[in-house]
Amino acid sequence: MADGGEMDEEAMMRAFFPTSFGKAPTRPSAASHSSTLRKPQNPSSNPSTSAAAEEDDGGGAIVGPPRPPKELAPIQEDDEEGGGLIGPPRPPQRPSAHAEVEDEDGSMVGPPRPPPSKEGDEDDEDEGDDDDEDDDDDDMDDDDGEDFGRIPLSNEIVLRGHTKVASALAVDPTGSRVLSGSYDYTIRMYDFQGMNSKLQSFRQLEPCEGHQVRSLSWSPTSDRFLCVTGSAQAKIYDRDGLSLGEFVKGDMYIRDLKNTKGHISGLTGGEWNPKSKETILTSSEDGSLRLWDVSDFSSQKQVIKPKLKRPMRIPVTSCAWDHEGKRIVAGVGDGSIQLWTIKTGWGSRPDIHVEKAHTEDITGVKFSTDGQILLSRSMDSTLKIWDLRKMKTPLKVFDDLPNNYAETNASFSSDEQLIFTGTSVEKDGRNGGLLCFFDRRKLELVSRVGISPHYSVIRSLWHPRINQVFATVGDKKEGGTHILYDPSVSQRGALVCVGRAPRKKSVDDYEVQPLIHNPHALPLFRDQPSRKRQREKMMKDPLKSHKPEAPVSGPGFGGKIGTTKGSLLTQYLMKEGGLIKETWMDEDPREAILKYADAAKNDPKFIAPAYAQTQPETVFAESDSDGEEKKKCKFKTYFDSMKGRCRRLKARIEGGRALGGRMGDDATASGKTRSEIREMPAAEGVGVGGDRVGRRCGGVSGGGG
């Protein structure tokens, strides 16, 4: 009875609590991902134009999200009586009398089985075993086909925040942090482990003001990442977004790029060495590639100059490492693809040089993991697949892939059986941004997945560890990152944050100023009288109730505006104090000062006693007017002398002219020539100046005569 009473008491206490008391609420995975299901795409924006896709629909490899289960057709008697089964196998049915009759009748479905022979029983058993093995192999092949064609596309989330197109993307090797760069000059950092369903970034960076973010790359250890912008200097940040330093810039006035310490023009791309955490690669518009040592930002390890037909600077538009970090590939602005192998004594001469690989700039290059296939994406709307063992011609060229951005890339799937790239929105707006998937072995289109009807797809990436597809999109007004996943085949990543609801706000989150009630502030406990009585008391006080003076306005006195009879406050105060009389403006200031002359003479106080012994007689300063008069007199004397000289000179000139005229007339009359007139002796009584003037004037007159 005691035990029974305790049980009854516990049951009664449990009745006061909800049934879920003490249990953590669990949300089904299907419910948590129902809000992220992708909407059905318009057939025009998501066409499946390949024959392989049609074969897959007929029972081959599955492409896209898993198909919904088909409804089982009702069992018809005709099918049971007639023979062949249609559709999937029927589930086992409960035994019934009708079924027993059918079994007793021994009705067989399909052609009759041949009777086994006694001699070949063992052979039949062996053949049966072989058939079973073949069936197992077929099942394995089907499973491989399903895994091969399984693209995680059933669900989708979008990481928003950029105000312009998202041009750079990087996911760390663990798949926990995502970096997205944009033309709005910023980098946004997302953490799946600390992010909820609001999908907000935990940090925003601006590496270089006014420069677009063009490339992002994580280190092999995921502790740092490389940021490449439109400036000439790349930057290194740690995992939390704190700047560790930037590489040095070169001298733009040095012509030979090998002699500069760094890039001299804007960067176009960069990537961290997948095997070395201290080496990175950058490409620039100055026409060079450079290898850097992260431990020393002021020095570079190697300068690579691509091979050109003419000695000029052509930008290197893209670059990449191979999976082992031993080869470098670059896309050059002239459309060529050049490849270098890092070995002892290697230099700028490329090991592989493919001229005119594309007709326009190459926006992305990518090695396969096995090092046999190379992808190249270009702004000529093509994607080319190259065999590194035979680079003369591409294995396959996929065209009709619009590309309007210099950062558009191409990539491989997690098992590298698929190749995919993004497309830009066409000018006529007919097709939006797509992700196009191609079969690596068959070299044909597998599927087109519509990502956005209005935004272009620039960067794309398939993370091998979490099995999720990332794609950056955007235009001139907005940008973001789309993440495609499938809860049945994807792991962690977006699945972690989608099911995590944002934290609900609690009452304790708000801090309110407390309201304090002072009992002495109440009217009942107030010692001071009320305000009404205070105002009445103040009105009775003449000083407190005195109305202040009105501001200065209206006509004034003595040509001054205002009632103070003056324009200064000081004058008004002095007048009120009795220091200034009413007639001070009418008095002569000189006469007012001379009134004190006799008093100062009879009773000197300041200046006179100081000079009474040393200078009894007053000495006044000389007037400046005397000196000015002397200067004027001196100048006048000089001017008069110059004027007299000018007059004398003028008289001599006139006398010489007259004498020369007479001599010229005499010489002309005597028939002398001009040279004889010049050699004539000077006349008596004529000065040197007059003689010369006379001769010249005479010669001229004679010549004229």
The pLDDT, as a whole number, for residue 114 is 55
The pLDDT, as a whole number, for residue 609 is 79
The pLDDT, as a whole number, for residue 106 is 44
Domain ranges of the chain: 155-498, 556-593, 631-704
**d(Cα 445, Cα 51) in Å, to the nearest integer?**
8
Q: Which amino acid is at 211?
A: H
In sequence order, what are the beta bridge partners of 362?
378
In sequence order, what are the beta bridge partners of 420?
411, 437
The pLDDT, as a whole number, for residue 378 is 95
**Residue 380: both structure tokens together:** 């000529």
The pLDDT, as a whole number, for residue 66 is 54
Residue range 155-498 in CATH 2.60.40.10: no
CB burial of 651-674 (b: ≥16 within 10 Å; e: otherwise) equals: eeeebbbebbeebbeebbeeeeee
pLDDT along the chain (705 residues), means of 10: 55 58 50 72 45 40 51 42 50 47 44 50 46 45 46 91 95 94 96 90 93 96 95 95 94 90 95 94 95 91 90 92 94 94 86 93 95 94 94 93 94 94 87 91 93 92 94 93 92 87 72 74 68 85 83 59 57 69 73 84 78 77 66 71 77 74 60 58 44 44 38
The pLDDT, as a whole number, for residue 535 is 86
**d(Cα 216, Cα 225) in Å, to the nearest integer?**
7
The pLDDT, as a whole number, for residue 24 is 40
The pLDDT, as a whole number, for residue 346 is 84
Element (H, E) at 205: strand 203-205
**Residue 424: both structure tokens together:** 């830009």
The DSSP symbol for 529 reads P
HEC-encoded secondary structure of 454-475: CCEEEEEEEECCCCEEEEEEEC
The pLDDT, as a whole number, for residue 56 is 42
C-alpha angle with apex 504: 501 to 507, nearest 5 degrees?
Answer: 175
The pLDDT, as a whole number, for residue 28 is 54
The pLDDT, as a whole number, for residue 347 is 82
Closest of 412, 425, 406 to residue 460, by C-alpha: 412
The pLDDT, as a whole number, for residue 132 is 47
Element (H, E) at 696: helix 688-704
